Amino acid sequence: MVHRSAWKALLALAMTAGLLASAGACGSNGGEATTDANGKPIVKIMITRWSTDIPMKDMAWTKDIEAACDCTVQWEDLADSAWGQQKSAKLAAGELADASIFAFDPGDALRYDYFENLTPHMKAMPNVKKFLDTNQSAKKMVANKDGSVFVLPSDRSKNYRVSTNHILINKKWMDKLGLSMPKTWDDLTNVLEAFKTRDPNGNGKADEIPFNMNRLDTGGFTLWNPFVFLNSTGITTSFAGTSPAAQGYYVKHGKVGSFLVAPEYRQVIDYLHSLMVKGLIPKDAMTRDDAAITAAKTGDGKTAKSGMIVGWSKTDFEKLKDEYVPMPVPKATASMSDSDVTWDYTQDLTELSNHAIAVSKNAKNKDALYKAINAMYSEKVSVQQYYGTIPKDVADNGNGKYRVSDTCYDNDPKTNCTAIADRFAGWIPDHANVENDQAAEALHEADVAYTQNLANVDPIKDVMPSYVRIDSEADQTTMSNNNTAILSYALGQTAKWIQNGVNDKDWQDYLKKLEDPSLGLNKNIGIWQKYYDEYTKDAK
């Protein structure tokens, strides 16, 4: 009994193993076709996206691209999480699609010898040429010193020429309590204290969170972190994307520095600590989960809980958005001159991207590919890439006027507008007018409050322009190794001090440690200064 069935099982297993082995051996396929069944050239384009729940090929507007290039586009959709893992392996395998969207930046192109210099092919892509001629900032972000361009930028138009960071405060509460817009940090403290003690949401519970602050990241200064208050002291921040502000670098009057060792930084820490002591920032602000922060912003959709946040726009509050208004940044002290107060300058980084699309040297059907790319940078396809298909999702009213359909906002999967938003490779020119882009409208409304502050910022002398790049790989390596150590130490101390306060001795020790050559802070500042001077010498 026992042995018969056992033998049978063994035999079955052996056969399975044999099957597996033989089938595994014949998996490889030969050369891949470069034309489809109708003889049209095939172009392979890879795109990295947050998620790939709706494949590119299912987006109706992609047919416009195929019509323009008279080719078949084979889309390869990759989630960011997958790309992060696959990038090195695919580079090593030399396995690049004909074109890659949002996968390589100009630094990659310099480092890895796989990409086609597109400058000589501009004739084949008149839309791209026009774009780069029109928008000099965009061109500078991608062009190398010898004029070569390996990666094309993208531009989502003046609708997004705004700062990414805004302070939003509950106007309804202020009105109810008879408070006016704070002008200084002291004013702000008073407003926040009133939020805490006077039950502005009127539910009889002391559940108000006066300043619903984001926690500090361990890797650097991310979007919407509380150190935008540095602008109150005259240090202009740029907390977005690839800006070196994420690692603590800033520019003032043409000089690069690190705010981690600036007295103004301590001023902000002291201020945040004073808010913490008074219970105006949640006690667990440094450890809270993101979900808890979000829940405190949107509440139950009826009763607001947050007094103030640093965020994107009032849309952060969902159904409660009408209670909030943007707040110009208050001065650190009453004696400061208004002209010394600045605001976070991330205009270029919000509007432009420097890694939209790169072409592989080994692409088979380059002519068709350039036609496809040219089509992508045409106004109509750009609008569709960003917002959705015309006419289903976006109405084309002629003369460069478009209107995004309301159905794009009703959060119903059936009517969802299928587009790739900021992952688009395209150019929406300033003369195009896209209406009903609710995100952009809310952003603009938020940005207007900072007009005065922003007027005090010189986009070249007080900001690291987005086109300043560290070209040398050695410098890049030094930079990132030093930064990891510097930030790990500095952010830990900062979080501790916001929580517990800082005395002079601790601060002096901290400065001494950061300025020690072993951490390389001054070396990094020197590197940035070098490239800043090099890239801005014509502009100044």
Partner 1 sequence: MSGSIPAVAPAKPRGLKATLPSVSRYWQLWLLSIPALFFVGLFAYVPMWGIQLAFRRFEPSKGITGGRWMGLHYFRQFFSSPMFADIMKNTFTISLSTLVMGFISPIVLALLINQLGSSRVKGFVQMITYMPHFISTVVIVAMISIFLNPGNGLLGRFLGDTSLLGNPAWFAPIYWITEVWQHTGWNCIIYLAALSSVNTALYEAAKIDGAGRLQLIRYVDVPTILPTCGILLIMNMGSVLSVGFEKVYLMQNALNAGASEVISTYTYKIGILGSQFEYSTAIGLFNTLTVQYTDQFRLPGAGQLHFEADLQHQHFLKGDCHVSIT
Partner 2 sequence: MSASLESSQTAIPLGHGGALTEGEVSAAVHGVSGIPMNPKVRMHRSFSDWVVDIAIWTIVALAVAAILYPLWFIVIASFSDPKLVASGQITFIPRGITLKGYATIFHDARIWRGYENTLLYTFAGTLLNMVVTIPVAFALSRREFRARHLIMFLFTFTMFFGGGLIPSYLLYRQLGILNSAWVFILPGAVSVYNVIIARSFFDTSLPEELFDAAQLDGMSYLGYFVRIELPLSSAIIAVIALYYFVGHWNDYFTGLIYVTDTQKWPLQNVLQQILLANQTQTSTAASGAQEAKEIAEQIKYGVIIVSTLPLLVMYPFLQRYFNKGVMIGAVKG
Site residues (CB under 8 A) for partner 2?
Answer: 2-3, 6-7, 10, 13-14, 16-17, 20, 23-24, 26-29, 49-55, 76-79, 81-82, 85-86, 88-90, 92-93, 95, 289, 291-292, 294-300, 315-316, 318, 386-388, 404, 408-411, 413, 416-421, 423, 437-439, 442
What is the rounded distance in angstroms from the CA atom of residue 211 to the CA atom of residue 219?
Answer: 23
Using the minimum distance from each CB to partner 2, give the nearer residue, 60 or 82: 82
Instruction: Tell whether residue 492 is a contact of partner 1 (CB under 8 A).
Output: yes
Contact mark string toward partner 1, 81..120, x via CB under 8 A: x--xx--x--xxxx-------------x--xxxx------
List all residues 6 or more positions away from 365 whose beta carbon is below 8 Å from its beta carbon: 34, 41, 42, 43, 71, 98
Tokens encoding 512: 């001494």
Kindly state the number of chain residues that form the binding site for partner 1, as judged by CB under 8 A: 42
- Give strand pairing partners of 433: 401
Using the minimum distance from each CB to partner 1, give the nearer residue, 49 or 156: 49
- Give the shortest CB-306-to-partner 2 separation in angstroms: 12
Nearest residue to 320 via CA among 294, 353, 341: 294
Residue 35 Cα distances to 38, 40, 407, angstroms: 8, 5, 38
Contact mark string toward partner 1, 7..46, x via CB under 8 A: ----------x-----------------------------
Query: Would you call 198 exposed, middle or buried from its count of C-beta atoms within 10 A (0-12, 13-18, 19+)?
Result: middle
Torsion sign over Cα 402, 406, 409, 414: negative
Pick from partner 1, partner 2, none: which does 448 bind, CB < 5 to 8 A by kind? none
For 455-503, list the strands marked E by DSSP. none
CB under 8 A: which stretch of 60-68, 153-161, 217-225, 333-341 binds partner 1?
A: 217-225
Letter string b/e over residues 202-236, b meaning 16 or more CB atoms within 10 A of that residue's CB: eeeeeebbbbbbbbbeeebbebbbbbbbbbbbbbb
What is the rounded distance in angstroms from the CA atom of residue 133 to the CA atom of residue 81?
Answer: 35
Pick from partner 1, partner 2, none: which does 50 bind, CB < 5 to 8 A by kind? partner 2
Instruction: Report whether 487 contacts 248 (CB < 8 A).
Output: yes
- Give the shortest CB-309-to-partner 1 separation in angstroms: 19
Can you tell me which of 406, 484, 526, 533 binds partner 1, judged by CB under 8 A?
Answer: 484
Reported as type and span, the H/E element at residue 74 is: strand 72-79
Instruction: Report whether 402 contacts 383 (CB < 8 A).
Output: yes
Pick from partner 1, partner 2, none: which does 300 bind, CB < 5 to 8 A by kind? partner 2
Interface of this chain with partner 1, residues 244 to 303, rule: CB under 8 A = 283-284, 286-289, 291-292
- Give the shortest CB-254-to-partner 2 separation in angstroms: 36
What is the rounded distance in angstroms from the CA atom of residue 534 to the CA atom of residue 31?
Answer: 46
- Give strand pairing partners of 508: none
Contact mark string toward partner 1, 359..378, x via CB under 8 A: --------------------
- Give the shortest CB-43-to-partner 1 separation in angstroms: 22
Enumerate binding residues for partner 1 (CB under 8 A): 17, 81, 84-85, 88, 91-94, 108, 111-114, 215-219, 283-284, 286-289, 291-292, 476-477, 480-481, 484-485, 488, 491-492, 494-496, 499, 518-519
